[in-house]
């Protein structure tokens, strides 16, 4: 069973092409106008073992908001599409990840319902060219479009903004990878007593 998705989204503000393979090896080709965002998406691909290609352009001469939000929308849609009927998936995944002085817990439920919570409170306005306030908006859009519960909590928020953001993307990738994995003992079953996700 191929668990892949190709999504294109074009608006007056952004143009995005994305390809995702949930059962990849962590190959990536990321091209957006925001360098630090590229780095975070590369970490997501590598640590999730997702093959990911993103080509995104947009009106960054006005603001970074549109392109970051729209990449989140498309990535969430691709995750939802690639998972398919959800038969056999573990459904739940979690990761406690240290990134130097930062300790981040991320939990995922591929429930078919949206919820997003975090306790990230940025201290710096930007890390290089990435506006830190957009982390919340990006992750919210991913969770909304992927129809998942996503919780990100710092157990120790540390002192470095780069480390905080890196811990979020790495722990999310690893939690999502676990949730997407096939449970061999139940590979033909939906992981729900409702028999619907």
Task: Give the DSSP per-residue string, 15-34.
Answer: EEEEEEETTS-S-EEEE-S-
Q: What are the residue boundaries of the structural domains of the chain, listed by start?
A: 4-186
Q: CATH code for 4-186?
A: 3.30.230.40
Sheet strands (E) in 42-88: 51-58
Query: pLDDT, tens digit, for every residue of 21-72?
Result: 999 999 999 999 999 999 999 999 999 999 999 999 999 888 899 999 999 9
CA distances from 75 to 17, 123, 158, 161, 186 (A): 10, 27, 28, 24, 27
Alpha carbon separation from 22 to 4, 46, 180 (Å, rounded):
6, 11, 8
**Confidence class of residue 172 from pLDDT cuts 50, 70 and 90?**
very high
**In 3-state terms, what secondary structure has residue 180?**
helix
- Banded model confidence at residue 195, pLDDT cuts 50, 70, 90: confident
What is the pTM assigned to this prediction? Answer: 0.97
Give the tens place of pLDDT for each residue, 59-115: 988 889 999 999 999 999 999 999 999 999 999 999 999 999 999 999 999 999 999
Report pLDDT for 157: 97
Q: What rounded mean pLDDT belongs to the chain? A: 96
> 152: pLDDT confidence band, cut at 50, 70 and 90?
very high
How many CB atoms are located within 10 Å of the residue 192 CB? 12
Give the pLDDT score at 181.
97
């Amino acid at each position: 069973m191929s668990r892949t998705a190709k999504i294109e989204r074009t608006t007056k503000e952004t143009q995005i092409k994305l390809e995702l393979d949930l059962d990849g090896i962590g190959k990536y080709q990321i091209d957006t106008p925001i360098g630090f965002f590229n780095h975070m998406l590369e970490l997501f691909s590598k640590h999730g073992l997702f093959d990911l290609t993103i080509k995104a352009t947009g009106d960054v001469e006005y603001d970074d908001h549109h392109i970051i939000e729209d990449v989140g929308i498309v990535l969430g849609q691709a995750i939802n599409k690639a998972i398919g009927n959800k038969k056999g998936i573990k459904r739940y995944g979690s990761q406690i990840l240290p990134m130097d002085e930062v300790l981040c817990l991320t939990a995922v439920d591929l429930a078919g319902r949206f919820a997003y919570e975090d306790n990230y409170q940025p201290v710096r306005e930007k890390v290089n060219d990435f506006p830190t306030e957009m982390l919340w908006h990006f992750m919210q859009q991913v969770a909304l479009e992927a129809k998942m519960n996503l919780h990100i909590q710092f157990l120790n928020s540390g002192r470095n903004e780069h480390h905080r953001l890196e811990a979020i993307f790495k722990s999310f990738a690893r939690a999502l990878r676990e949730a997407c994995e096939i449970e061999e003992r139940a590979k033909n079953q939906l992981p729900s007593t409702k028999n619907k996700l």
